[in-house]
Chain A
Amino acid sequence: MNLVTLSYAQYFGLFVSLSVVIYLLGKGVPPIKSVLSFLSLLLAAYLFTTLQSTGQTTLLLLNFTFGIDILTKFFVWMTFGIAIIVSFVLVSNKELSPTFHALYLINVIATVFIFLSRDLISFFLAWELMGWTTFAMIISDGWTDKLKAARKYFVWSAIGAYFVLIGFAILISQTGYYQFEPILAHIGTIPTGWLIFAVALLVAGFGVKAAMMPLHVWAPDAYSESPHEFTGFFSGVLSKAGIYGVFMAFFYFAARFEAFNMLRIHGTSIFGYIMVWIGAITAFGAALIATNQEYGKKLLAWSSVSQLGYIIFAFGIADSLGMTGALAHALAHALFKSMLFIIMAAVIMRTGTDHLPSLGGLIKKMPLSFIFAVVGGLALAGIPMTIGFTSKWIIYEAGIHGGYIFTTTLIFAASTAAFLYYYRFVYSVFLGPLHEEHKEVKEAPAYYWISYILIAIPIFYFGLYPGKLLAIISKILDTYDLPSLQTYTATTVATPLGTFNGLLIGLGFGAALLVGLILYLIGGRTKKAASPTDKYLASEVVTNEFELHYAMDFYKFLERELHGILKISAQKFYEFFEEIVRFTADLNRKLFFCGNGQAYLYYLTIILTILIFAIWRINL
């Protein structure tokens, strides 16, 4: 029996008012703000369990509909889990303003409401709310160098939201309803062209948030410039709202529509095929770029873009394997990426920088952080015994099974690149020689390593017992009448191409790691650490301009080989477009607002004449 029963509107209102309380109290008693926001999130998570499975609120003559099903729960618990852990870490950060904490609470609640809403209007409301609160959080610190990134994020998120809005408006105008259920019932009445247009707009709009190439340009900047602890939530969870949106647009609405499914070439949905390609290119391209980053947060940010590409790729395949893999990887990415970003935040907190060549050797100072960085890295690279292996395995199988030979190759290559950049990250930060100025660095506070452990538990659990995860996902897919994977037990997953026992390989792999560690402890220690000025000099010409540090130009050789590919930049295209808009804007201003009264009268005469001609023709 629940202590309280709140309606959805009350739930929303409660936490919005709580955020105001946090803001006001935080102004007066600064330390209280972070504790309060942590407690509020706990309360939010608790009260979420008491919510009824459906609910309605009438506002603006509209009937807002909310509901909870297994998919909602999957995403909401992912959101709450990461949000609470991040907020726990934030308790140790005294610098963030009360505005930030207040906005954070609204942001989390808005994200939850994206998953709860069962009508287009409240969905859009929550979507926009999430967008602008994130922007406000980034700028609430007011660092001048962040503003550009924040602005880019804000503009892109507005563009995405406007795509979504038009897509929604088309759905509403074509069916006459705005709730999910009746739209679904009337989806057959929409002309095919309109539906395709609407779904394309929706996928593009949500794709912005899901950092789908070529709509990803905001993501690396925004992820790397947002407040460090928050980035874990930003990159891990907020991007999943985009994934959720793509899922709803594509599988909830469009896939139920027969005419839409008829758009096939050789049995493959055209839409799906495009998504497979976009996903694969995103995964591979972003991974390559990530290998060439000099800043830790930028590197992880590009890695996020790459990992989101995997999810898009798997969605595009759209069979039982693909859907399962996509949802599994959504969770996996949320877990390991938030972990890595929190570790990055810890490193930045202790050393003040995320510039990789300025770091190094922190393994001795921050051993716990190192261990969990390895855990996160294992998951990221898809090494057995972690959740990353489960999800990536299924995605690979989906690709191979679906016959997407070339794109799957790209995905494989992306995985290799992931290993490269992850290696760069962990090596530059934790291994190698310690810098002079980092002699006094301490391990991250307990807040951090408690959160590491909290995140590591599901990473290992779902890695060793993949069936537990697949059970949830299959239930989701069954609820939505989508193809689901049925051949699994708690530890084994049987797929068309092979079966794996997560526990068994996990333990085997763990054992191998253990052996390696023992060998290292016995024999490896005798090796002398390299001097800070050592550098891998093969085929490199040493000049005086560069500091001879091993983390400088870590993958110089790769960069040289991939020069041509890296030069293809979506950024440049947008800059070109921006230039055109700017030119038009100036032209327009000089033309219509030139400040010359005579010119205004001139325009008046012209417009009068034009109107006369226009109307004359109508009436004569």
Chain B
Amino acid sequence: MIRKLFVLFLLVIVGFFLASVVVSVPFGAEKTIVGRYYLNNTIGETGGVNAVTSIVVLYRGFDTLGEVTVLFLAATGLAAILANTREKRKKHKEKPSLIMRVGTDYLFPAAIVFGSYIFLHGHLTPGGGFPGGVVIASGFLMLFLAQWHYKADELWLKVIESLAGMTYVLIGLIGLWKLGTFLGNFLGKGTPNMLLSAGIIPLIYIVIGIKVGSEMTGLLQNLRETTENE
């Protein structure tokens, strides 16, 4: 008890200090040199009208590649740790209703299409590969919830995931080959506001969308199977 109080006390001190310090951070001020540069130059340099997307995919595209890897790692790591622990499957007491089963059958393609739309239009409208991928995975989640016997083919998931990841790196390498910089925008900028514009941004978003979608699906499938054997 005393120990807990002591920790609490310490945390208050730490919190107070951090708060007192954070107050002096000029958040939201126009001071950010980098931010101003991005806002002023996005369309001219990248051809993408969605500045956020341009930042994510081009200016800081390397971070995005890293984040994709982190997500990949999370899925892989989870699968690695949970592997071989999912033998028993518990009998469910109550079956989902017919409405749910039929409803999800119809909703699933819609979710896939919507997800694809999000990542295809990432350079034009808010959204992008990550949300798009998650929407696709949510389509699979519906299937997992409503149709117990549904199981995504792990081999295909694996292959798609691999190919998508490799394509992302390859796109970067083509940039290196053509322009001398990794992830360089080797396609034309095109006309802003058109679907086929902003160079490699849509390409990368497609790859990310597919990759995130398949990873999240695999992740959910893993979790679902392991929680069931409790």
**Do A and B touch each other in the complex, judged by CB within 8 A?**
yes
Report yes or no: B17 in contact with A606, Cβ–Cβ below 8 A: no
Binds A, one of B8-16, B104-112, B120-128, B183-191: B8-16
Report yes or no: A609 in contact with B13, Cβ–Cβ below 8 A: yes
Instruction: Report B1-27 CB contacts with A as 1/0, cut-off 8 Å.
Output: 001000100110110010000000000
Residues of chain A within 8 A (CB-CB) of B13 are 609, 612
Distance, CA A616 to CA B14, complexed state (A): 11
Report yes or no: A608 in contact with B14, Cβ–Cβ below 8 A: yes
Report yes or no: B14 in contact with A609, Cβ–Cβ below 8 A: yes
Report yes or no: A612 in contact with B11, Cβ–Cβ below 8 A: no
Residues of chain B within 8 A (CB-CB) of A584 are none
Residues of chain A within 8 A (CB-CB) of B17 are 612, 616
In the complex formed, the residue of A with least CB distance to B20 is: A616
Distance in angstroms from B17 CB to nearest chain A CB is 5
Distance, CA A168 to CA B3, complexed state (A): 48
Instruction: Report A578-616 CB contacts with B as 1/0, cut-off 8 Å.
Output: 000000000000000000000000100110110010001
Distance, CA A606 to CA B7, complexed state (A): 8
In the complex formed, the residue of B with least CB distance to A609 is: B10
Q: Give the interface size class of chain B.
A: under 10
Distance, CA A609 to CA B7, complexed state (A): 10
Report yes or no: B11 in contact with A605, Cβ–Cβ below 8 A: yes
Residues of chain A within 8 A (CB-CB) of B14 are 605, 608-609, 612
Residues of chain B within 8 A (CB-CB) of A608 are 10, 14
Residues of chain B within 8 A (CB-CB) of A606 are 10
Residues of chain A within 8 A (CB-CB) of B10 are 605-606, 608-609
Report yes or no: A602 in contact with B3, Cβ–Cβ below 8 A: yes
Distance in angstroms from A303 CB to nearest chain B CB is 60
Distance, CA A102 to CA B7, complexed state (A): 59
Residues of chain A within 8 A (CB-CB) of B3 are 602
Distance, CA A602 to CA B3, complexed state (A): 9
In the complex formed, the residue of A with least CB distance to B13 is: A609
Distance in angstroms from B101 CB to nearest chain A CB is 43
Distance in angstroms from B72 CB to nearest chain A CB is 27
Instruction: Report A215-249 CB contacts with B as 1/0, cut-off 8 Å.
Output: 00000000000000000000000000000000000
Residues of chain B within 8 A (CB-CB) of A612 are 13-14, 17
Distance in angstroms from A452 CB to nearest chain B CB is 71
Q: In chain B between 162 and 200, which residues have their CB closer than 8 angstroms to a CB of chain A? A: none
Residues of chain B within 8 A (CB-CB) of A616 are 17
Distance, CA A608 to CA B13, complexed state (A): 10
Residues of chain B within 8 A (CB-CB) of A609 are 10, 13-14
In the complex formed, the residue of B with least CB distance to A613 is: B13
Residues of chain A within 8 A (CB-CB) of B7 are 602, 605
Distance in angstroms from B224 CB to nearest chain A CB is 28
Distance, CA A241 to CA B199, complexed state (A): 75
Distance, CA A612 to CA B13, complexed state (A): 9
Distance in angstroms from B24 CB to nearest chain A CB is 12
Distance, CA A233 to CA B14, complexed state (A): 64
Interface centre among B10, B11, B13 (most CB of A within 10 A): B10
Residues of chain B within 8 A (CB-CB) of A605 are 7, 10-11, 14
In the complex formed, the residue of B with least CB distance to A599 is: B3
In the complex formed, the residue of A with least CB distance to B12 is: A609
Distance in angstroms from A462 CB to nearest chain B CB is 75
Distance, CA A284 to CA B226, complexed state (A): 77
In the complex formed, the residue of A with least CB distance to B11 is: A605
In the complex formed, the residue of A with least CB distance to B17 is: A612
Distance, CA A601 to CA B10, complexed state (A): 12
Residues of chain A within 8 A (CB-CB) of B11 are 605
Distance in angstroms from A562 CB to nearest chain B CB is 56
Distance in angstroms from A608 CB to nearest chain B CB is 5
In the complex formed, the residue of B with least CB distance to A608 is: B14
Distance in angstroms from B84 CB to nearest chain A CB is 25
Distance in angstroms from A591 CB to nearest chain B CB is 14
Distance, CA A520 to CA B124, complexed state (A): 120
Q: In chain B between 29 and 60, which residues have their CB closer than 8 angstroms to a CB of chain A? A: none
Distance in angstroms from B21 CB to nearest chain A CB is 10
Distance in angstroms from A162 CB to nearest chain B CB is 38
Q: In chain A between 51 and 91, which residues have their CB closer than 8 angstroms to a CB of chain B? A: none
Distance, CA A602 to CA B11, complexed state (A): 10
Distance in angstroms from A604 CB to nearest chain B CB is 10
Distance in angstroms from A189 CB to nearest chain B CB is 47
Distance in angstroms from B5 CB to nearest chain A CB is 12
Distance, CA A431 to CA B150, complexed state (A): 98
Distance, CA A605 to CA B6, complexed state (A): 10
Distance, CA A602 to CA B4, complexed state (A): 9
Distance, CA A612 to CA B16, complexed state (A): 11
In the complex formed, the residue of B with least CB distance to A605 is: B10
Distance, CA A602 to CA B7, complexed state (A): 7
In the complex formed, the residue of A with least CB distance to B9 is: A609
Distance, CA A575 to CA B7, complexed state (A): 39
Distance, CA A612 to CA B20, complexed state (A): 12
Distance, CA A200 to CA B10, complexed state (A): 46
Q: In chain A between 20 and 53, which residues have their CB closer than 8 angstroms to a CB of chain B? A: none
Distance, CA A606 to CA B9, complexed state (A): 10
Distance, CA A202 to CA B26, complexed state (A): 58
Distance, CA A605 to CA B13, complexed state (A): 10
Distance, CA A608 to CA B10, complexed state (A): 9
In the complex formed, the residue of B with least CB distance to A612 is: B17
Given contacts A602-B3, A605-B11, A612-B17, 13 further A-B contacts (CB under 8 A): A602-B7, A605-B7, A605-B10, A605-B14, A606-B10, A608-B10, A608-B14, A609-B10, A609-B13, A609-B14, A612-B13, A612-B14, A616-B17
Could you give 13 example pairs across A and B, Cβ below 8 Å?
A: A602-B3, A602-B7, A605-B7, A605-B10, A605-B11, A605-B14, A606-B10, A608-B10, A608-B14, A609-B10, A609-B14, A612-B13, A612-B17
- Which of A's residues lie within 8 Å of B, judged by CB? 602, 605-606, 608-609, 612, 616
The 4 closest A-B pairs by CB, nearest first: A609-B10, A605-B10, A612-B17, A608-B14
- Which of B's residues lie within 8 Å of A, judged by CB? 3, 7, 10-11, 13-14, 17
